[in-house]
Chain A
């Protein structure tokens, strides 16, 4: 059973460009979470999605950031018009649905560098 997969692993963008980060959850997992980690810091929650639904986006900036988890295909975190402050590691995690299934399994992350 493959783990959570993220691509690309590294992404370099110039200011003003768009960044698209992809996450494929573990097989059977229908809950996806995105977190951001700045250097030397812990992870900060951004958004929680289930298939075709955004459950909680309280940690996501109101502008330029969006996330989706379509019925088919990976979850996408999209950052429009990137700025230098968006440089960070972005981690995706997935979990099984239901009580007692709260363990979140993390992917290797996408390291975004904005020049």
Chain B
């Protein structure tokens, strides 16, 4: 899988259900970020989790990070029709100087459709 590859590619659920999206990556990372993109629009930052963190919450969002498996998951609880969007994970790697490269590597995204 590519650096920051999401799974599944598409997910269709009913309002009120939970949605889980997974992301796998290949290289060591500084942090991993999740973004949402509505059709034809820009990206909205959802949450950032650092390499030394295992879980993070923000409202209805829960992100986990397993650096041993090089994977992350995004859980959206009690989904709403307004959550319909594409979701991308993006990784930020360390450089030799011990700081962030600054460039994000994105996956292909998961298209989430929440039916009312």
A residues touching B (Cβ–Cβ < 8 Å)?
31, 33, 35, 41-45, 48, 55-56, 58-59, 91, 93, 95, 99, 102-109
Contacts and interface: CB of A to CB of B under 8 A. Distances in A.
Interface in B27-76: 30-31, 33, 35, 41-45, 48
Interface of B: 4, 30-31, 33, 35, 41-45, 48, 88, 90, 92, 99-109
A97 B22 CA distance: 29
A43 B52 CA distance: 25
B42 A41 contact: no
Main secondary structure of the interface of B (DSSP, over half): strand
A44 B106 CA distance: 7
A109 B38 CA distance: 12
A102 B92 contact: yes
Given A42-B108, A42-B109, A43-B88, A106 B103 contact: no
A33 B43 contact: no
B101 A56 contact: yes
Contact of A45 (B42, B100, B104, B108): B104
A102 B4 contact: no
A79 to B, nearest CB: 19
Nearest to A40: B108
A106 B43 contact: yes
A74 B102 CA distance: 19
B65 to A, nearest CB: 15
A36 to B, nearest CB: 11
30 contacts: A31-B102, A33-B102, A33-B104, A41-B108, A42-B106, A42-B107, A42-B109, A43-B90, A43-B104, A45-B103, A45-B104, A45-B105, A48-B101, A55-B102, A56-B101, A56-B102, A58-B103, A91-B42, A91-B43, A93-B43, A93-B104, A95-B102, A102-B92, A102-B100, A103-B33, A104-B33, A104-B45, A106-B35, A106-B42, A106-B44
